[in-house]
Chains A and B, each alone.
Chain A
């Protein structure tokens, strides 16, 4: 398979998925009983008509869909129906930088911590370290992020007072939420790293390296590390999704004014346009990450260009 064909194929998959999400959100939004302006007090007929005309809800459904698509292509996700004068773009502009910095820190912790323990477990397979890392990883995968978040908050902030309990501001505010959000992904990455490294360590060229007299660390650094990163890179898309959804509850628990907390509030308030808009935003973010991780894969595994990659075959 040629390089270009690979990239184009991946791109088309991402774009189709995104189109599917956009259409699904539109269909779901239209299938909600009643209309977005229904409130406890009845609104006079005339005002309701005016509201509908203002937001273009009186037009035929295909016209609304076309307008909706056009808005998304031009990166204009539309207004909130609950908060007057607020657009989804404003909300993203305010909340996303916060969630993004928290997400990046989580990503770094998850990859660093996961690859570290996974490597140790693979290199010292069967040893005490391996068993210890395995148990820690299973525990990490079994503790939902919101439970992790509340317990970290309870012990390290409330009881011990080492770190701030909540809110946003300094780097210290980011530590507990980032650890809470990274517990599942780092456990998952540790397992991925371990299994792929064990596979690499069984290859003949490792034996060659050993017989040349390289130390364990040198072998790991020169021959094992890059090869065993492939599954971790292919996990990046799912990891991003995981961090996104983790951010919903963790930001809420720690009172962080990020996009995740805003998303949860919109769910509680049933602010449908924001829910839909943010879903599309999150999905686009996810598709970009998946596409980038596919490209990154290409750099790490040049065999894809010649269509010989074992890993790609296994995935297909």
Chain B
């Protein structure tokens, strides 16, 4: 079995590498990550230092992306925003993954009445107006990164749970699971050693596609004034600030908006590539 699953992963990886769009997305993402790590050190300015003498400057060599209404260098703020957006996106995706795999795995394995009840709960949570609930929670809780992540993951894991459960249902009746069962393996062992590793493809795909959603949600909340608090810079708050100055200083909106879109694009391309690579129906 080990050999087989190894081959499956290798095959998928090969297919992923052949996908030009997905590799392009991966390339953008790696560049973004490197720049968010080292970008701020290219500039003598900090993300919070205000300098009213040089406010609303258009892009120049000293301020490659211009400055905002308080004279802060957008170049530095963009890379700080990248850290925040990526942190929120990846953390939310990991939490969703843990909760979803746990819930979906138990439901799929338990079967019968337990599964029925668990999936009805999931159905109900799934049809909740997701973003509205997130807005409600952020309105009421203290504003900040933690609140955004909690509000997003509170209903965000349902998708993962449904996918894992569907995957487990289709795996459950396969021969190697029955063999393992007949050799006396416990349910927990079957779940951890056999079922979840074989759900790897859909799980990683769903995780990758959760990240752009989370980045979007953060930007959306910041746009409504519910995002992270100053002086922390997130792309959403920068875009929201830039919007009011659009007709005079368009770069203040352009750079954050472009980076939100490019990052979401990169994750979507990678996610699509992974889905195509792992989809067994496409295997020849």
Interface residues of A (CB under 8 A from B): 13-14, 16-17, 20-21, 24-25, 28, 31-32, 134-135, 138-139, 141-144, 146-147, 150-151, 154, 158, 237, 241, 244-245, 248-249, 253, 264, 267-268, 270, 272, 275-276, 279, 282-283, 286-287, 290, 314, 316
Contacts and interface: CB of A to CB of B under 8 A. Distances in A.
Size range of the interface on B? Answer: 35 or more
A98 to B, nearest CB: 19
A204 B71 CA distance: 66
Contacts of A150: 243, 246, 253, 257
B239 A147 contact: yes
Closest 8 CB pairs of A and B: A142-B265, A142-B264, A245-B131, A147-B257, A17-B124, A17-B127, A144-B216, A286-B129
A21 B129 contact: yes
A142 to B, nearest CB: 4
A14 B127 contact: yes
Contact of A147 (B21, B135, B261): B261
B268 A138 contact: yes
A226 to B, nearest CB: 23
A275 B135 CA distance: 9
A147 B132 contact: no
B123 A13 contact: yes
A249 B226 CA distance: 13
Interface stretch (B32-40, B54-62, B103-111, B217-225): B217-225
A13 B124 CA distance: 6
Contacts of B21: 134-135, 138
Contact of A267 (B219, B226, B239, B243): B226
A189 B240 CA distance: 28
A277 to B, nearest CB: 12
Interface in B157-197: 166
A143 B261 contact: yes
A275 B132 CA distance: 10
6 contacts: A135-B21, A141-B264, A154-B250, A264-B224, A268-B225, A283-B129
A241 B130 contact: yes
Contacts of A253: 243
B148 to A, nearest CB: 15
Nearest to B134: A245
B122 to A, nearest CB: 11
A270 B124 contact: no
Contact of A158 (B130, B135, B247): B247
Given A20-B124, A142-B261, A245-B220, 12 more contacts: A13-B127, A21-B128, A28-B137, A144-B220, A144-B261, A146-B219, A146-B243, A150-B243, A150-B253, A245-B131, A267-B135, A286-B129
Nearest to A248: B224
Given A142-B264, A147-B257, A150-B257, A249 B223 contact: yes
Interface string B236-275: 0001000100110010010001001110110011001000
Contacts of A270: 139
Nearest to A268: B225
Contacts of B124: 13, 16-17, 20
B127 A279 contact: no
A275 B136 contact: yes
Contacts of A21: 128-129, 133
Nearest to A245: B131
Contact of A138 (B129, B133, B136, B272): B272
Nearest to B266: A142
B224 A237 contact: no
A279 B216 CA distance: 20
Contacts of B230: none
Given A17-B124, A138-B268, A141-B268, A24 B133 contact: yes
A144 B243 contact: no
Nearest to A314: B166
Contact of A142 (B223, B225, B268): B268
B113 to A, nearest CB: 16
B156 interface: no
B100 interface: no
A290 B166 CA distance: 22
Nearest to B269: A138
B63 to A, nearest CB: 22
Contact of A290 (B127, B264, B269): B127
B220 A267 contact: no
Contacts of A283: 128-129, 132
A135 B220 CA distance: 24
B127 A147 contact: no
B88 to A, nearest CB: 15
Q: Which of B120, B223, B269 has the most CB of A within 10 A?
A: B223
B140 to A, nearest CB: 5
Given A16-B124, A245-B220, A154 B129 contact: no
Contact of B132 (A31, A142, A146, A282): A282
A237 B127 contact: yes
A124 B166 CA distance: 31
Given A144-B261, A241-B130, A28 B140 contact: yes
A249 B220 contact: yes
Contact of A144 (B166, B226, B246, B264): B264
Contacts of B261: 142-144, 147
